[in-house]
Structure 1
Amino acid sequence: MVTHAALRHNAAMPEFARHMGEVAVSWLPQYHDLGLAGVNLTAMCAGGTAALFSPADFARSPLLWLALATSYRARALAGPHSAFALAARRLSAALASGTAKYDLSSVTLAVDAAEPVGAASMANVVAVLRRCGLRPEAYTVGYGLAEHVVKVTCFARAGAAAAGGGGGGGVQERPGRVSCGAPCTDVELRIVNPETHAEVPQGEEGEVWVNSPSKCAGYYGQLIETNETFHAQLRGAREGDPLYLRTGDLGFKRGGELYISGRIKDVIIM
């Protein structure tokens, strides 16, 4: 159950709103949290413009994304890593044949989210898009989930670029993992032992717990699941202490940034 207050808070996060408040170009489905809340509602609440086209059109012509970004002088792009990688492959071929005429110099935020991200693949995407003017610091990795409307972490925090490190500008790799960035404004993020509910030391793996005004109210008609997922408390918590959202994702923190390392439960996608 998503409340109006949670939607408004997530849409107004300045890390995204200051870019989406200009022009965003998106093909993401409006039934997906990244498309609906991450792009459309954020652009609308920020007073920006969202230039939209269909997922089917993107599948037929991935370079249409870059063409529209060029035409509309887009400030913001967002999509799963597989989409950026596909566009980069097609762009590489177009560059090799001399047919590429794209200008991504206007883009100040390109959010890679919704899927696991590999460091080598991401570095390749940044390198290819950079040939069309994309600034490496504009390419960022974010983490989110529908139970928190969508946005949880990103690099572009409080007007800052990426938090140092190698790779493509904002890309930072630690022991084979790519940083998903720091918590967005007003987001409290903890790494917790899923069995004991005790917060673990920095660098140690545990379940990602989140609390902020973006947290949804629960699962409709599922009181037990809502209580288990949305009302978690740290070991030793007292009355009035925060209730956290258990994401089910495993990760660790370093330097204030989140690294996702897996899921608590194995999931089979049919």
Structure 2
Amino acid sequence: MSAFSDALCTAAQGPTGMTTGEPHEPVRTSWADVHAKACAGARVLAAHGIGPGDAVAVLAAKPFEVAPIAQAAWLAGASVTMLHQPTARTNLMTYAQDTAAVLSLVGAKAAVLGDPFTEFAELLDGSGVLALTVDDLLAEPGGPAPDVEIGEDLPALLQLTSGSTSTPKAVRITHRNLWANIEAMCQAAQIRPGEVMVSWLPLFHDMGMVGFLTLPMCRGIELVTVTPTDFLASPLIWPTLISKYRGTITAAPNFAFALTARVLARPTTRELGLDLSCMRFALNGAEPIDVAAVRAFLAAGAPFGLPETAVVCAYGMAEASLAVSFHPWGTPLKVDTVDAQALEIARRAVPAESGRSFPVLGPPLDGIEVAVRGRDGAVLGDREVGVLHLRGECITEQYLTVDGPVATQDADKWLDTGDLGYLVDGEVVVCGRVKDVIIMGGRNIYPTDIERVAQSIDGVRAGNAVAVRWTTPSGRESFAVAVESREAGDQDAAERIRQAVRSAVTAEIGARPATVSVLPVGSLPKTPSGKLQRSAAARLITPPPAEALPVRPPAPEGLPLPG
């Protein structure tokens, strides 16, 4: 057996498990019970001819179902692909087409469906993909898993990347990759028996699936987990569960920290008697981290005992299985403030009293190397901004694409992340994505800076502002901004928001938006994991008459970086 699959079996020998069903009907299931169901499921898969190297797709929302389904596939030697879940606004015809493309991409031999998605089984008729419900797979437990050879280089996860819809792409994560990253995360976070992990993260995203289901399931860590729907319906459920179950480890994208900070600051929350003193490791990752949001969360949590060192800013990506670097836990938030002009024009992170502020994301995890390279591939020095490259045992070697497998690494096993950043004393700082950077007058302007300013305007929904490249009729490159607001239908209110965004961005960034659009709630396109899709958003922005036209060509391959 691989080290990973062996760990799944070992964890099943202990007393720990997972609690699901909060806040209405909490139910605790031991990892031993999960393993017994998984063994039964692995036998069912084997009986259908599914074994080492085969792919199993999963469309299920409930963690207590996903855990044994995924483990069953792994015990049978198969890989797992978590399918993106449709929402109330999803066009089901488009979803069916996109899902068929994903199933073809990963070569799925079976798809396991849980409530409320069992009706999708009929979409698989005639596709050659075996459709199984959770009940079909998880029959009465009893007996061992099938005796199969599970090598370290078999795929364990075929993880869909953000935005994988009509042109999907999957990251091929082997047992070796996965176990190397889990080991490194446990070492860096010092995860030991007795920890309690609390999560609401979606399981079709790598942070939820790897960090807050796979890791506790194979390391025997107690887990309390609800769904993203539970959190979005009532963000207070997150700190409430931490308090109730004495959670020590959690994680979320930046928007959730900002949202929860506002909830914790309400006077009525003080009456609940929450105790967050137990939380030692609250990872902030998966999207650009706003220093102001982290500080607001820590300040709002302080009256409830939240330690000032609780938030751990991190860098990760599916290509690394999950994590690349963690800020050292137990230490205060570390912020690097640099001169904006030097950053944007000279591409150097020069320390300054005021300017651009980035969270420092810690040193690379054990076994991972990070290098910063210029456009010519030359390795850059400390505080020189370039493209981050990764190398290590947890780094994938292959993408699966509609055109076939594609290597991810160069001849020296380095992976180009597409992220701009720099190193400071060996610690990682991320500035933005290469493809999103706006170039004006020789400056590299990061859209996240513009978006943070826009979100600060009264009437703009938090986390729902986007800045995109824009070209004026004269051919000058500029940028445009779109924001969501509940007041979009009120012409006077929308004009007030437009003017306020334009003025604030111009004052803060030193560059004027070509146009600002105020859109109704739910307009901005996002990936299934909740990230803004800037290129798609550009099509929603209305240019002012004879003033600007949107950029349509594909993103450039690189930027004028030093070296």
Aligned pairs for 1:96-175 (under 5 A) are 98-156=270-328, 161-162=330-331, 169-175=332-338
Higher relative contact order (CA 8 A, sep 6+): 1
CA distance in 2 between counterparts of 1:244 and 1:224 reads 21
2:430 paired residue number = 260
From 212, 215, 226, give the equivalent of 1:53. 226
For the residue of structure 2 that corresponds to 1:251, the secondary structure is strand
How far the C-alpha of 1:17 sits from its partner, in A, is 5.6
Q: Say whether 1:186 aligns with 2:367.
A: yes
Which amino acid is 1:216 matched to?
Answer: T
CA distance in 2 between counterparts of 1:221 and 1:105 reads 45
How far the C-alpha of 1:221 sits from its partner, in A, is 4.9
Aligned pairs for 1:191-202 (under 5 A) are 191-193=372-374, 195-202=375-382
How far the C-alpha of 1:190 sits from its partner, in A, is 0.6
Which amino acid is 1:189 matched to?
Answer: V
Aligned pairs for 1:222-237 (under 5 A) are 226-227=406-407, 230-232=408-410
Q: Is the 8 Å Cα contact of residues 19 and 75 (structure 1) preserved in structure 2?
A: no
Deviates more, 1:43-52 or 1:56-65: 43-52
Q: Is the 8 Å Cα contact of residues 140 and 171 (structure 1) preserved in structure 2?
A: no
How far the C-alpha of 1:7 sits from its partner, in A, is 1.0
* Change in CA separation of 1:39 and 1:19 when aligned onto 2, cut-off 3 Å: farther
For the residue of structure 2 that corresponds to 1:265, the secondary structure is helix
Q: Is the 8 Å Cα contact of residues 280 and 330 (structure 2) preserved in structure 1?
A: no
2:415 paired residue number = 245
Q: Is the 8 Å Cα contact of residues 202 and 253 (structure 1) preserved in structure 2?
A: yes
Which amino acid is 1:219 matched to?
Answer: Y
CA distance in 1 between counterparts of 2:247 and 2:192 reads 9
1:29 paired residue number = 202
For the residue of structure 1 that corresponds to 2:431, the secondary structure is strand
How far the C-alpha of 1:170 sits from its partner, in A, is 2.4
Q: Is the 8 Å Cα contact of residues 20 and 76 (structure 1) preserved in structure 2?
A: no
Deviates more, 1:216-225 or 1:104-113: 216-225
CA distance in 1 between counterparts of 2:302 and 2:390 reads 34
Deviates more, 1:260-269 or 1:43-52: 260-269
* Change in CA separation of 1:84 and 1:269 when aligned onto 2, cut-off 3 Å: farther
* Change in CA separation of 1:20 and 1:180 when aligned onto 2, cut-off 3 Å: farther
Which amino acid is 2:384 matched to?
Answer: E
1:203 paired residue number = 383
Q: Is the 8 Å Cα contact of residues 294 and 311 (structure 2) preserved in structure 1?
A: no
Q: Is the 8 Å Cα contact of residues 257 and 293 (structure 2) preserved in structure 1?
A: no
Q: Say whether 1:217 aligns with 2:394.
A: no
How far the C-alpha of 1:126 sits from its partner, in A, is 1.2
Which amino acid is 1:47 matched to?
Answer: G
Q: Is the 8 Å Cα contact of residues 397 and 409 (structure 2) preserved in structure 1?
A: no
2:173 paired residue number = 2
Render the CA deviation track for 1:203-242: whole Å, top value 9, x for unaligned: 0000010111111131125788733xx2225xxxxxxxx4
Structure 1: gaps of 5 or more residues: 163-168, 234-241
Which amino acid is 1:203 matched to?
Answer: R
CA distance in 2 between counterparts of 1:217 and 1:78 reads 27
| TM-score, structure 2 normalization | 0.42
* Change in CA separation of 1:41 and 1:100 when aligned onto 2, cut-off 3 Å: same
How many pairs align?
249
CA distance in 1 between counterparts of 2:193 and 2:288 reads 23
2:78 paired residue number = none
| TM-score, structure 1 normalization | 0.86
Render the CA deviation track for 1:16-51: whole Å, top value 9, x for unaligned: 361686110100011100001122112223210111
How far the C-alpha of 1:60 sits from its partner, in A, is 0.8
Q: Is the 8 Å Cα contact of residues 109 and 140 (structure 1) preserved in structure 2?
A: yes
Aligned-residue Cα RMSD (Å) equals 2.0
CA distance in 2 between counterparts of 1:74 and 1:49 reads 9
For the residue of structure 2 that corresponds to 1:131, the secondary structure is helix
For the residue of structure 1 that corresponds to 2:188, the secondary structure is helix
Q: Is the 8 Å Cα contact of residues 372 and 423 (structure 2) preserved in structure 1?
A: yes
2:123 paired residue number = none
Which amino acid is 1:252 matched to?
Answer: Y
For the residue of structure 2 that corresponds to 1:219, the secondary structure is strand
For the residue of structure 2 that corresponds to 1:39, the secondary structure is helix
How far the C-alpha of 1:3 sits from its partner, in A, is 0.5
CA distance in 2 between counterparts of 1:20 and 1:111 reads 19
CA distance in 2 between counterparts of 1:225 and 1:190 reads 25
For the residue of structure 2 that corresponds to 1:215, the secondary structure is coil
Which amino acid is 1:178 matched to?
Answer: P
Q: Is the 8 Å Cα contact of residues 189 and 209 (structure 1) preserved in structure 2?
A: yes
* Change in CA separation of 1:132 and 1:11 when aligned onto 2, cut-off 3 Å: same
